[in-house]
């Protein structure tokens, strides 16, 4: 769905929301796991249901949301209500942007660390070499 703002003519893309008449989707098994429990006593509740929306009853619980490889702990806060559990468990791991420029920057950073360590070592060496009286 494409929406234009009248004032600035900017283009925004929105995804279709779930129908309000259907209500939010929460996996029944997930609700059953937390029903009647206190957040402190429940520990980490493991779930594969990334598509479940966070309900107000879930605030305070820690969910282990599966990201395809492992369960990442997600502590549910009040601001998260209405979002999906999968939004807080990234499925891809960002390593870094590559390229020649990145390697040069890393080499300069490493040189700076080495020179700082050497200067710190030289600064402490004369103080240690001074004779005691």
What pLDDT is stored for residue 1 in this prediction? 46
Q: Give the contacts of 46 (CB within 8 A, at least 6 positions apart).
A: 63, 64, 66, 71
Contact present, 65 and 36 (Cβ < 8 Å): no
Q: Which residues contact 90 (CB under 8 A, 6 or more apart)?
A: 67, 72
The topology under which CATH files domain 18-88 is: 30s Ribosomal Protein S19; Chain A (3.30.860)
Interatomic CA distance for residues 86 and 53, integer angstroms: 9
- Considering only residues 130 and 7, tell me which one the structure prediction assigns the higher pLDDT: 130
**Half-sphere exposure of residue 70: CA atoms within 13 angstroms, side-chain side:** 5
**Residue 72 pLDDT > 60:** yes
Task: Write down the domain spans for the chain.
Answer: 18-88
Cβ atoms 61, 41 nearer than 8 A = no
> Cβ(65)–Cβ(89) under 8 Å?
yes
Q: Which of the two residues, 127 and 79, has the higher pLDDT score?
A: 79
Residue 131's pLDDT band (cuts 50, 70, 90): low
């Amino acid at each position: 769905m494409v929406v234009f703002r009248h004032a600035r003519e900017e283009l925004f893309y929105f995804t279709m929301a779930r129908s309000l008449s259907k209500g939010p989707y929460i996996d029944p098994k997930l609700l059953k796991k937390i029903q009647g429990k206190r957040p402190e006593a429940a520990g980490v509740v493991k779930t594969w249901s990334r598509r479940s929306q966070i309900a107000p009853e879930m605030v305070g619980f820690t969910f282990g949301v599966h990201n395809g490889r492992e369960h990442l702990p997600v502590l549910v806060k009040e601001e998260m209500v209405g979002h999906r559990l999968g939004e807080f468990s990234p499925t891809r791991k960002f390593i870094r942007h590559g390229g020649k420029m990145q390697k040069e920057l890393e080499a300069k950073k490493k040189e700076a660390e080495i020179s700082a360590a050497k200067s710190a070592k030289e600064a402490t060496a004369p103080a240690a070499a001074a004779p005691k009286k």
